Amino acid sequence: MPPQREVRAPVFVGGTGRSGTTVVAQLIGARADVALVPIELRFHVDPGGLVDLAAGRVTVDQFARRMRNKWYERPPRNGARGLHVIATRPTMRRGLRRLREGYEVDPWGASKRYLQDVIRPFRRGAGAATWVEMTPANAQAADALCRMFPRARVVHMVRDGRDVAASVARRPWGPTDVESALVWWADKLIDIHRAIDGADPARVRTFRLEALVGPEREKHYAALVDFLGREPDPEMRRFFDRELTAERSHSGSWREGLAATDQIRIDKLFERQLERLASHGSALPPVA
């Protein structure tokens, strides 16, 4: 077994989905001292999950029932999904017992401990000091996650909405056309902005995918490493050089297969969404 390390605060990565969340979580998890949770846990930020439990919007019984029946083993899609990928049922059950015992006295602390309890065996098996988890809704729960884990970092990834919309429209879980997906993208970013606005600003940072693969990528990579509060890491650097490139990011790919008139129409809708975002104080960060 790898040597144990001093436990540090976790990192949560989130965004709208299809915004570079997965690759940036993998980038952070390339570090030897960080265990990459290989699936979206979801139960901490989904409706009825840990955040709602800590805030008193659901009961421990309701959460435990959903944990056992919904989040522990989710229907497979491109591989296994659910907490069972990293934790055994006995681990889950012990965590639920501890959660129940401590909830009345300290709902937020008990909810934090539950997440720590179910991840601990996985983290220890990796010999890591902490872990990084990617569920898109982490960003929409940034304020609650910062309250639950006062020393955690939340990385919010954003990407050109046209590329996001084109990608989402091809997926089975979101809007099925680019126009609707663009509006969905802006709606999500507005919700995320509200959550980030209520979070500790030292613990949440927005990074743009295009910036991490663009001409000023070194500056933005250094900003990410600094935000994580870690020393530079050679494995993380190698992953960055290999995987976060302009070619792999497919920037501008939304135009592929579209007639010029359709591109103009999408561009106009995109501009309107940018105006909406600006009016809510959630303008996109610059690429440079």
Could you tell me where the beta strands, DSSP code E, fall in the chain? 11-15, 34-36, 130-134, 153-158, 204-208
Q: What is the DSSP string of 80-139?
A: -BSGGGT--HHHHHHHHHHHHHHHTT-HHHHHHHHHHHHHHHHHHHTT-SEEEEE-GGGG
| Domain end among 96, 127, 158 | 127
Counting the structural domains of the chain, the total is 2
| Domain end among 77, 112, 127 | 127
Is the pLDDT at 4 greater than 60? The verdict is: no
Whole-prediction pTM: 0.96
**Which pLDDT tens digit goes with each residue over 118-164?**
999 999 999 999 999 999 999 999 999 999 999 999 999 999 999 99
Q: Calculate the average pLDDT of the chain.
A: 96
Same domain flag for 123 and 145: no
Q: For the ranges 4-18, 105-119, 236-250, which has the lowest average pLDDT?
A: 4-18
Residue type, 165: A
Tell me what the mean pLDDT of segment 187-203 comes to: 97
| Domain end among 60, 94, 127 | 127
Same domain flag for 1 and 60: no
Residue 88, domain extent: 39-127
Same domain flag for 140 and 118: no
Tell me what the mean pLDDT of segment 180-204 comes to: 97
**Helices then strands, each counted (H, E), the chain:** 13, 5
pLDDT of residue 282: 94
- Return the sign of the alpha-carbon dihedral for residues 261, 267, 271, 276: positive
Q: Which position has the higher pLDDT, 2 or 117?
A: 117
CB neighbour class for 212 (10 Å; exposed up to 12, middle 13-18, buried from 19) = buried
204-208 β-sheet, strand order: 34-36, 130-134, 11-15, 153-158, 204-208
Same domain flag for 147 and 198: yes
> CATH number, domain at 253?
3.40.50.300
Same domain flag for 109 and 233: no
pLDDT of residue 6: 54
pLDDT of residue 232: 92
Percent of the chain whose pLDDT exceeds 90: 95
pLDDT of residue 1: 44
pLDDT of residue 278: 96
